Structure 1
Amino acid sequence: MTAPTDPLGRPLRVIFDLRWTADDIAGISRFSVELAKALAARPEVELTVLVCRDDQTDLVPGVAKLRVHDPRDPGQALAEARLPRLLNRLEPDVVYCPVFYMGSWGRRYQAIFTIHDMIPFHFPKPPSDLSLGARIGWRALYATTLPMRWMLRQADRVATVSQTARAEIEGRLVSGDLAVIPNGVEQLEPAPPADHSGSDDIVYMGVFSQHKNVETLIRALPQLARVRLRLLSRIDPGRRAELTAVAHEAGVGDRIIFHDGVSDQEYADLLAQARCLVTASRLEGFGLPIVEAQQRGVPVVCSDIPIFHEVTGEVATFFDPSDPADCARAIDEAADPELSLRHSTDGLANAARYTWPRAAEAALELFRAAI
């Protein structure tokens, strides 16, 4: 039996914009899909998802789908402007967008947008896979905060994904209260705590953008005999060539392994065999791979930045991301059996804080407050 949502006396009608989901389900795409699934599982929610590609139609089973245009296509700007009129016919209470761009004029519902971080304002170099026109648009969008502030003002409420991101964004991009909908991890069979110190493999999961600072991980290797760095994510040829050159310059070309994408099972297996998960990122909105590693009982070695202190629950070995020698020191410390087992045990407890049902509860609290 469907549970009513007080004070409406009926299920909350929510439209979730899944059109920004990429075919590689990671990062914001992972956040979008898993949050949508968790909302779909709530009996007090009547969920419809917006899609624009065939591969998106099966991402959230058992809910209504509405296929519309691709919002990333500049030729569809007029269609995006007209989108609220189409959505009004479905009489939603809330339309949730996991990013910050969606047509909103003329709507008869509450619109909620999301900004995950301020990384592009600090590191404005566009992704290398964008077209020339898209790169120009990227530069224009992030040259000042004015365009983003205007876009976010089109929403009734705005959310982000961590308290650290909230502290940075609030007042700079959003003048009102900024809600937090945290990330989660898929609930797996609990992994037993384990000593990972005997492994010579360290793993990195994430994109290869400028702020991720993968070069520091590579430049730490000369001070770490036998240690191999496994780069798990997909990487474009140009960026791979850049990192390969850094590795050869450092004399560790034979100790860098590009996996260029892995399945969820491969990811789990590689984590299980690793000494630690590593990241030298200079700035993050959250840092989901950290929690994914902790959930599997794998120690974390990461940058000494505020967001990682929040997300790890202080269960990590921290280092200065600008100093390869300090990075090497932290990775070497992870080879201590006592520390490894303690971080495995405590990391499992910390990761239990981050579940998609809890994220869905935070989202529902925001939706109810908005209406």
Structure 2
Amino acid sequence: MTAPTDTRGRPLRVIFDLRWTADDIAGISRFSVELAKALAARPEVELMVLVCRDDQTDLVPGVAQLRVHDPRDPGQALAEARLPRLLNQLEPDVVYCPVFYMGSWGRRYQAIFTIHDMIPFHFPKPPSDLSLGARIGWRALYATTLPMRWMLRQADRVATVSQTARAEIEGRLVSGDLAVIPNGVEQLEPAPPADHSGSDDIVYMGVFSQHKNVETLIRALPQLARVRLRLLSRIDPGRRAELTAVAHEAGVGDRIIFHDGVSDQEYADLLAQARCLVTASRLEGFGLPIVEAQQRGVPVVCSDIPIFHEVTGEVATFFDPSDPADCARAIDEAADPELSLRHSTDGLANAARYTWPRAAEAALELFRAAI
């Protein structure tokens, strides 16, 4: 652990590691970019971002950048080990990593890492788009908690994104106090409360990993006449084939629509036309699409799991994620006009709790405490 720093009379110098940001800005990548933008807007912060690819250079306009190696490249392990020596020359107060790993040995600054959830420990199957070597590394990393505990011990402080995640992680992966930097949503023109009950479209936004349990959404459709499930996110061909087979087996192949990625405007338009946003996830660290839907006045139908009770503010229709019939029941309840309007109104109020400026304030509170 490094010595405390006196920052009186000058901005807080923060280096933000954006190298882990994917070209599809969703999930952790969305968290990273939006939090960096919110920190850049603070006058008391002097922000620099680390990037490693051309598509990352425009993510946070108007801030200093340092282009270095890609931390995911195994051939760059030595460069990652040497990174703190380079960063020391810039004299930052804090280096913030929105994931749980970056080179730390020999640093003269406060290092703060983030762990968003423990999903890979519960669902250890690697993402299907990883190389063979990466899949082997994934399984080794999550076979026990020891590697993760070691990596997190390299940081001065560790953060997560929700109280639910904090309760699960604290004591298992992190022995000290775990801070919370919540997600936010972009502050768009407020959508007025509206009755969405007349729509036969339901939308899903998110990855298609094992824990997302999209199969339950598909298997609920036979009990829901005319309802169409719109899957908005990018999907790799292998996973698409798997879900298509599930849909044909259930006899609803013509009611599954793969959008394979949408723009922010298309996302907003599809939400506006939907009965509800749905997710059957078995485990989450946060669940940002839920808040994005509520911010647009769209009702939410989701798994009855602790994190969704926290994030929705109890403004949702909950179902057992292991039971397609219960999922169908919840989606059918969302067709009630009175319930739809109430959830639209109350969801807007709940979503107002989650803003990127508030997330930046939580991050700054952690940074100040660390130095």
TM-score interval w.r.t. the shorter chain?
Answer: over 0.9
* Aligned counterpart, 2:104: 104
Are residues 87 and 97 of structure 1, via their aligned partners in 2, closer, same or farther at CA, if it must alter by over 3 Å?
same
Shift of 1:286: 0.1
8 Å CA contact retained: 1:3, 1:44: no
Deviation string, structure 1 residues 4-56 (Cα, Å, up to 9, x no partner): 99852210000000000000000000000000000000000000000000110
Helix, strand or coil for the counterpart of 1:136? helix
4+ residue segments displaced more than 3 Å: 1-7
Give deviations 1:282-328, integer Å, cap 9, x for gaps: 00000000000000000000000000000000000000000000000
Deviation track 1:229-263 (CA, whole Å, cap 9, x = no partner) reads 00000000000000000000000000000000000
Conserved? CA contact 1:220–1:324, under 8 Å? yes
Distance 2:105 2:361 in 1: 28
After superposition, the Cα gap between the structure-2 partners of 1:187 and 1:128, relative to the gap in structure 1 and judged at 3 Å, is same
Counterpart residue number, 1:230: 230
Conserved 8 A contact 1:3-1:10: no
Q: CA deviation at 1:369?
A: 0.1
What's the offset of the Cα at 1:2? 26
SS at match of 1:33: helix
CA distance in 1, matches of 2:359, 2:340: 29
Deviations 1:136-181 (A, max 9, x none): 0000000000000000000000000000000000000000000000
1:85 positional shift:
0.1
Q: Report the counterpart of residue 91 of structure 1 in structure 2.
A: 91
Give the Cα separation in 2 of the matches to 1:287 and 1:87: 33
The answer (yes or no) to whether the contact 1:5–1:11 under 8 Å persists in 2 is no
Q: Cα deviations across residues 120-143 of structure 1 (Å, max 9, x unaligned)?
A: 000000000000000000000000
Q: Assess if the C-alpha contact under 8 Å between 2:5 and 2:93 holds in 1.
A: no
Instruction: State whether residues 297 and 345 of structure 1, in contact with CA within 8 Å, keep that contact through their aligned partners in structure 2.
Output: yes
What is the TM-score of this pair, normalised by structure 2?
0.98
Measured in 2, the distance between the counterparts of 1:3 and 1:151 equals 20
CA distance in 2, matches of 1:6, 1:142: 38
Distance 1:6 1:103, change over 3 A: closer
For the Cα contact (< 8 Å) 1:3–1:11, is it kept in 2? no
- Distance change >3 Å, CA 133–CA 213, structure 1 → 2: same
- SS of 1:91's partner is coil
Would the alpha carbon gap of residues 253 and 173 (structure 1) be closer, same or farther in structure 2, given more than 3 Å must change? same
Structure 2, unaligned stretches of length 5 or more? none
- What is the CA-CA distance between 1:228 and the residue it aligns to? 0.1
CA contact (8 A) 2:94 2:367 kept: yes
Quick check: 1:196–1:340 contact (8 Å CA) kept in 2? yes
In structure 2, the CA distance between the partners of 1:7 and 1:74, relative to structure 1 (3 Å rule), is closer
- CA drift of 1:3 comes to 24
**Please, what is the CA RMSD of the aligned residues?**
2.7
* Equivalent position SS for 1:206: coil
Q: Is the 8 A contact 1:4 1:44 kept in 2?
A: no
Q: Secondary structure at the match of 2:36?
A: helix
Give the whole-Å Cα distance in 2 for the aligned partners of 1:205 and 1:326. Answer: 20
Change (3 A) 1:88 1:270: same
1:62/1:336 CA distance change after superposition, 3 Å: same
Task: Indicate if the aligned counterparts of 1:125 and 1:210 stay in contact, CA closer than 8 A.
Answer: yes
Judged with a 3 Å threshold, the aligned counterparts in structure 2 of structure 1 residues 3 and 141 are, in CA distance, closer, same or farther, namely closer
Contact 1:272–1:296 (8 Å) recurs in 2: yes
Q: Which residue of 1 aligns with 2:214?
A: 214
SS in 2 for 1:102: coil
Unaligned runs of 5+ in 1: none
Cα contact 1:116–1:160 (8 A) shared by 2? yes
SS in 2 for 1:47: strand
Separation (CA, whole Å) in 1 of partners of 2:181 and 2:353:
13
Q: Is the 8 A contact 1:101 1:113 kept in 2?
A: yes
8 A contact 1:201–1:227 mirrored in 2: yes
What do residues 193-237 of structure 1 show as CA deviations (whole Å, max 9, x unaligned)? 000000000000000000000000000000000000000000000
Contact 2:2 2:109 in 1 (8 A): no
Q: Distance in 2 between matches of 1:133 and 1:61?
A: 35
State the aligned residue count: 371
* Structure 1 Cα separation of the partners of residues 256 and 25 of structure 2: 24
Are the aligned partners of 2:2 and 2:108 in contact in 1 as well (CA < 8 Å)? no
Asked whether the equivalents of residues 5 and 12 of structure 1 are also in contact (C-alpha less than 8 Å), the reply is no
The alpha-carbon distance between structure 1 residues 3 and 198, as it changes in their structure 2 partners (threshold 3 A), is: farther
Q: Is the 8 A contact 1:2 1:44 kept in 2?
A: no
**Correspondence for 2:318:** 318
Alignment of 1:56-205 (within 5 A): 56-205=56-205
Whole-angstrom distance in 1 between the partners of 2:296 and 2:245 = 33
